[in-house]
Amino acid sequence: MSRRCLKCGTVYEGEARFCPKDGSPLVDGGGVAPAATPASSGTLVRKPAARAAAPPERAGSLSNQTLDSRYEVLRKLGEGGMSYVYEAKEIGSPGSVAIKVLSPKLGADKTSVERLRREAGLAMRLTHPNVCRILRMGETEDGLIYLVMPYLKGELLSDREVRAGPMTAELGVVWLAEVCAGLHHAHRLNIVHRDLKPENIMIVPWEDGYEHAVVMDFGLAKENRADPGVAKLTATGIILGTPEFMSPEQIRGKPLDARSDVYALGIVAFEMFTGKLPFQGRNAQEMMIARLRGQPTPARQYRPDFPPKLEKVLLRALEANPDNRFATTLEFGVAMAEALGPGYYEKLRDTLQ
């Protein structure tokens, strides 16, 4: 298999994922590298070829079609503001994959394409059982850009919450510990999720007979280390992310680190256990103001039987000042497990290594 560097255009054979020259992600596709042109951020993007663009409706109607002469698209799984997600099968290979196709409208925007390519490069580095990684990135002849990921048969945490209601501390902490472990793996690679919420966590049955939590969609992921390209893409960070789960520093557009994901996961945990959000407001703007100026509601106000020690752990994760939170998601996970007793921490020790 040949792969091409997104930045310098050099083509490499084999399974390398990053360019030895400049560290940029490699995408599938060999032969002569396409012409590139400098973007305003200083990185290189593909120069549009002389070809007809995909009709706007094509990205949303790929079911029962063949994508890029390589994937048989089976059905649409969902759609969002910038992409459509499908279940598909790679021709000649068993099993299913999930394919996220960028909206052609956004695909025509260089910044959106650059961010998607960066997303692919970041997510390809994530190799943890509790993180859904990106397998490859591709582009069709008519300009549809897509990402290929493992197809996970499971249930979104948000759907589980609606179907089953607030969960026990003992069950919830197991899944939260797995999310903590997956996020810690990303943070060690200097990647922050930025958009953690129940819709981005999948509960998946594994071969061991148990359900496990898997973090999905690093679509707003960013590296800690800022460079001109990243700075350009994240300069509007105040509007990236989901308002109900954004940390105070993200609302303010400040630099983010692992502690921002700790905060978002604290809100996710609070909702898992109570069915409520820790900050109230009539709309997203009021809830953001409440996180900047107010204090979170204690979990036992909604659920009197909630373990007091675990309530204190959640309140620490939701501190407005990042310095007062847990420094890492792993510390957060350990604290939650220990709050339920020494025996419970021993049960989750392997997860929280």
Judgement on whether residues 143 and 80 belong to the same structural domain of the protein:
yes
- Environment class of residue 294 by beta-carbon count within 10 Å: exposed (0-12), middle (13-18) or buried (19+)? middle
Please identify, among 97, 128, 150, the residue that sits at the C-terminal boundary of a domain.
150
- Environment class of residue 289 by beta-carbon count within 10 Å: exposed (0-12), middle (13-18) or buried (19+)? middle
- Environment class of residue 183 by beta-carbon count within 10 Å: exposed (0-12), middle (13-18) or buried (19+)? buried
Question: Angle 259-265-216 (CA atoms, 0-180°, nearest 5)?
Answer: 105
End-to-end CA distance of the chain: 35
What is the CATH number for 179?
1.10.510.10
What is the CATH number for 43?
3.30.200.20
Q: Which helix (H) or strand (E) holds 330?
A: helix 329-339
What amino acid positions are annotated as catalytic residues? 195
Judgement on whether residues 50 and 178 belong to the same structural domain of the protein:
no
Q: Is 274 helix (H, G, I), strand (E, B) or coil?
A: helix
Please identify, among 126, 150, 174, the residue that sits at the C-terminal boundary of a domain.
150
Judgement on whether residues 122 and 166 belong to the same structural domain of the protein:
no
Q: What is the pLDDT of residues 312-334, one digit of tens each?
A: 999 999 999 999 999 999 999 99
Token reading at 149: 């990921």
Residue 42 predicted with pLDDT over 90: no
Q: Looking at residue 47, what is its pLDDT?
A: 35
- Mean pLDDT score of the chain: 81
Residues paired with 211 in a beta bridge: 205
Instruction: Indicate the angle between helix axes 329-339 and 308-317, nearest 10 degrees.
Output: 170
Judgement on whether residues 183 and 113 belong to the same structural domain of the protein:
no
290 domain residue, yes or no: yes
Judgement on whether residues 65 and 203 belong to the same structural domain of the protein:
no
Contact predicate 147/116, CB 8 Å: yes
294 domain residue, yes or no: yes
Residue 71 predicted with pLDDT over 60: yes
Is the model more confident about 194 or about 231?
A: 194
Is the model more confident about 157 or about 41?
A: 157
Q: What is the pLDDT of residues 200-216, one digit of tens each?
A: 999 999 999 999 999 98
11 domain residue, yes or no: no
Q: Looking at residue 99, what is its pLDDT?
A: 93
Domain count for the chain: 2
Q: Measured between alpha carbons, how far is 118 from 115 in angstroms, rounded to an integer?
A: 5
Q: Looking at residue 293, what is its pLDDT?
A: 86
Q: Are strands 2-5 and 222-223 parallel, antiparallel or unpaired?
A: unpaired
Residue 298 is part of which domain span? 155-347
The full DSSP string for 160-184 is: HHHHH-S--HHHHHHHHHHHHHHHH
Q: Measured between alpha carbons, how far is 353 from 331 in angstroms, rounded to an integer?
A: 10
Q: Measured between alpha carbons, how far is 341 from 343 in angstroms, rounded to an integer?
A: 6
Q: What is the largest CA-CA distance in the chain?
A: 66
Judgement on whether residues 115 and 175 belong to the same structural domain of the protein:
no
Q: Looking at residue 64, what is its pLDDT?
A: 94
Q: Measured between alpha carbons, how far is 58 from 48 in angstroms, rounded to an integer?
A: 19
Q: Looking at residue 107, what is its pLDDT?
A: 66
Judgement on whether residues 101 and 170 belong to the same structural domain of the protein:
no
Judgement on whether residues 109 and 125 belong to the same structural domain of the protein:
yes
Question: Angle 26-27-29 (CA atoms, 0-180°, nearest 5)?
Answer: 120
Contact predicate 221/192, CB 8 Å: yes
Contact predicate 73/65, CB 8 Å: yes
Q: Which helix (H) or strand (E) holds 80?
A: none
Average pLDDT over residues 250-265: 94
Amino acid in the structure at residue 47: K
Token reading at 265: 């996961």
Q: What is the pLDDT of residues 137-157, one digit of tens each?
A: 888 888 888 989 999 999 999
